[in-house]
Amino acid sequence: MSSTTPANALEILSREIAKILSVDSVDTNVGIGELGIDSMNVVELIVFCEQLYGSIDPETLNITQYTTLENLDQQLRAQQAAEQDVA
């Protein structure tokens, strides 16, 4: 993963999800299912995460209807840290 992930990635992610859902804002501590993210939106979410966080491994992400954006951000940052440890 790229080491250029912005410090405010969670904020950027929440704004993008709000755009996808056509709402003003989203709570980053609410499960994505409750936010209204469906299976098609998850694809958009993963594509956006790849743009924001760099190369990601979607297979290792634990994304369920209960996953919050905050949790997703933590998972992606952990992937990034693990990748940097290997390099």
- How far is CA 59 from each of CA 34, 46, 75, 76, 79, rounded to the nearest angstrom? 22, 11, 12, 12, 11
How do residues 4-16 score in pLDDT, each as one tens digit?
789 999 999 999 9
Q: What domains are defined for the chain?
A: 9-86 (1.10.1200.10)
Residue type at 63?
A: I
How do residues 75-85 score in pLDDT, each as one tens digit?
999 998 888 77
- pTM for the full model? 0.88
Q: For residue 51, which of 83, 5, 87 has the smallest C-alpha distance? A: 5
Report CA Rg, the chain.
12
